[in-house]
Chain A
Amino acid sequence: MNVTAIFINIFSLLLLLIAFIKDRKKTKQALKIALKSFIAILPMVLIIIILIGLLLSFVSSSDISTIIGEQSGFSGVLIVALFGSVMHIPSLISFPLAASVLKNGASVMAVAAFITTLTMIGLLMLPLEIKELGKKMALLRNGLSFVFAILIALLMGAVL
């Protein structure tokens, strides 16, 4: 276990302890929710883990690099951003996928674009968003999010 994982586990346990002292019933309910969401996300986690294994053993770093590496330039970022906008996977499990392609040839820009569009934009959720917020606000939010996600990605590439 690395330092980050240890830190996060200690932090969660500490909060859990405080919550337990404060209100046992509510804490029990919280743990129930935690367990339920854990089970709910588990199949997706396993799918992603296997896909990462397949990706890294069957696709070479140079292939990944050609499609979404530094030399793929702006078009690579655009493709990844579109991909991230359409995909509907829990953002929590996108990070191992992002890490695996980053270590194997993908550019910082592409990875940042993927994470940012994946989290900010949900084309599959758009009907729901329109229903709750109205067409104008929902479309403006998703459209501008796409533009800013690419800006964030380009700046990430420049900074890191």
Chain B
Amino acid sequence: MNKESQQKQKKTFKRDVAILMIVLLVTVILSSFFPDKRPELINVSWGFLIEMAAILPAVMILMGLFAVFVPKDTIVNHLGETSGIKGIALALFFGALPTGPLYLAFPLAAVLIKKGARISNIIVFLSAWACIKIPQEMMELQFLGVKFMAARLVLTIVFVIVMGLIIEGLLEWEEKKFNKN
């Protein structure tokens, strides 16, 4: 990780802590004005805290492991050279691996564009990275249940592929038009 993003992370952390303090303060004031709401407030928050504590460390360890053991070069090399159904499947697979937030994927996608990878692959890769990540699916399974998670996963995979093909088609169509003129 470079210095710039490290500094940005520190700033975000400080901001989050400040927001947390404000939220805490507001909550304490609110619950002293409405003592009858206090039991439910504590009950609900405590329940979610326990559920989070049960799953978040495991998810973080998983993300750490994949960040270290799946080098970015592997992803770029595989996606840069594969196309067709196999390419899309690979894009889904690499995108879904538990490896950090979306802004980390943009530079990778930029390298893929330069390497001449299929646009549909890149879009599917980015979309999978954004919303089909394994840790997300785990959290979704934990909090929203298997039916919700499975239905959204299937629909998302289908539409992400459709979107990749549409964007590729649009960009290629435009390029052709541009070349003719």
Interface residues of A (CB under 8 A from B): 1-2, 4-5, 8-9, 11-13, 15-16, 19, 23, 26-27, 29-35, 37-41, 43-47, 49-54, 56-58, 90-93, 95-96, 98-100, 102, 108, 111-112, 115-116, 119-120, 122, 125, 128-129, 131-134, 136-137, 140-141, 144-145, 148, 151-152, 155-156, 159-160
Contacts and interface: CB of A to CB of B under 8 A. Distances in A.
A30 B69 contact: yes
Given A8-B59, A37-B60, A40-B13, 13 more contacts: A1-B54, A4-B142, A37-B64, A38-B60, A43-B16, A45-B56, A49-B49, A53-B48, A90-B101, A91-B131, A112-B152, A122-B130, A137-B123
B139 interface: yes
A90 B20 CA distance: 15
Contacts of B160: 148
Contacts of B113: 133-134, 137
B44 interface: yes
Contacts, number: 222
Contact of A47 (B20, B67, B127, B171): B20
Contacts of B107: 132
Contact of B167 (A19, A120, A144, A151): A144
A120 B131 contact: yes
A100 B44 contact: yes
